[in-house]
């Protein structure tokens, strides 16, 4: 299995509070991604990174920010959590884009009350 960990694995928070999710990899892959998974929507890309301090927006980036100060860590921050951000969040990594597959972490289940 690819060395990807996510923390925390479960979190319950209240509306309006900031939340940070962490993705850590031991594979030294260049690309890292944050997705959210919701019933009926599949996986939707929030943000991705193509190198240290290089990030770009995905399909559903509003209300989220990311940072990558080291190759191995990619942080996702919900600036002011809302109930619509209740979801399962997955981190993924890949060595290159295009033909290279992505490897997924175990996910973080976030509930915003």
Instruction: Enumerate binding residues for other proteins (CB under 8 A).
Output: 4, 33, 40-45, 48, 50, 56, 58, 90, 92, 97-99, 101-107
Residue 15 CB, shortest distance to other proteins, in Å, is: 26
Cβ density class 72-96: b for 16+ within 10 Å, e for less: bebbbebeebeeebbbebbbbbbee
**Which one, 16 or 51, has the nearer CB to other proteins?**
51
Sign of CA dihedral 8, 14, 15, 19: negative
Residue 17 CB, shortest distance to other proteins, in Å, is: 25
| SS3 state at 85 | helix
Residue 55 CB, shortest distance to other proteins, in Å, is: 11
Residue 6 CB, shortest distance to other proteins, in Å, is: 9
Alpha-helical regions (H) of 13-89: none
**Which one, 19 or 92, has the nearer CB to other proteins?**
92
β-bridge pairing 108-112 and 10-13? parallel
Question: Pseudo-torsion of CA 68, 43, 82, 19, nearest 10°?
Answer: -30
**Which one, 48 or 74, has the nearer CB to other proteins?**
48
**Which one, 13 or 103, has the nearer CB to other proteins?**
103
């Amino acid at each position: 299995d690819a060395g990807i960990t996510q923390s925390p694995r479960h979190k319950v928070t209240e509306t309006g509070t900031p939340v940070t999710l962490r993705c850590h990899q031991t594979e030294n892959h260049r690309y890292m991604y944050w997705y959210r998974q919701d019933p009926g929507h599949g996986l939707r890309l929030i943000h991705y990174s193509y190198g240290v301090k290089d990030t770009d927006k995905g399909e559903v980036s509003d209300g989220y920010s990311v940072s990558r100060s080291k190759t191995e860590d990619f942080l996702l921050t919900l600036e002011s959590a809302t109930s619509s951000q209740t979801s399962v969040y997955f981190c993924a990594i890949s060595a290159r884009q295009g033909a290279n597959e992505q490897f997924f972490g175990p996910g973080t289940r976030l509930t915003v009350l």
